[in-house]
Amino acid sequence: MILASGSPRRQEILKEVGFNFKVVVPEIEEVSKEEEPVKKILDISRKKATSVAEKCTNEYVLSADTVVVVDNKILGKPKNVEEAREYLSLLSGREHEVITAYTFMSIEKNIFLSDYSVSKVKFYKLDEETINWYIETEEYKDKAGAYGIQGKGRLLVENINGDFFSIMGFPVASFVNKLKEIGVDINEINKL
């Protein structure tokens, strides 16, 4: 299988449950004309998978994308420290959604599966000292919403309602169950 994502978190999640894969980072601009957050992230996930699958038609390709949504505004990966600070201040003391969409496909086998997971995360009220401390860890870099729940960012989180691994970057249990629905045996995941 090819993982069409450079995310170390997705790689870790998939390796831990036994998937064998090679990483091919899609060379596309991650944009969509869709406005609604779920449609937008599904569209980007599909574009990532398709861009790699068209070059590797006999392979299974898996892509994913994660965003944080608050007030119907998508918070992707912060471009700089200022944007990270803005995101963390916006999330402070509030609940937000984390949406992870994924696409699994094989052109040769005519397989196409695309789905998403929505989880809710509530942050503690963050004072300036806490935000500064977290920014200084540099953990915000390359993270949707400027935090990583699996790292030091867990100290910002009051509670979650949903799939922890989806918040981390990939809803692996849901994905495996969807694979079963399309006839892929769980015992075969290490052979994909």
Give the Cα separation of 176 and 102 in Å (integer). Answer: 12
Residue closest to 117 by CA, chosen among 141, 92, 137, 100: 100
Q: At what angle do helices 128-137 and 81-91 cross, to 10 degrees?
A: 130
Q: Write the CA distances from 75 to 8, 10, 26, 68, 190, integer angstroms.
A: 19, 19, 21, 5, 34
Residue type, 22: K
Residue 48, CB-side half-sphere exposure with 13 Å CA sphere: 29
Token reading at 29: 């601009």
Give the Cα separation of 10 and 150 in Å (integer). Answer: 12
> Any idea how long the chain is?
192
Among the options 43, 65, 71, 163, which is catalytic? 65
Give the Cα separation of 67 and 27 in Å (integer). Answer: 19
The yes-or-no answer on residue 185 being catalytic is no
Secondary element (H or E) of residue 102 = strand 95-106
Which residues are marked as active site?
Answer: 65
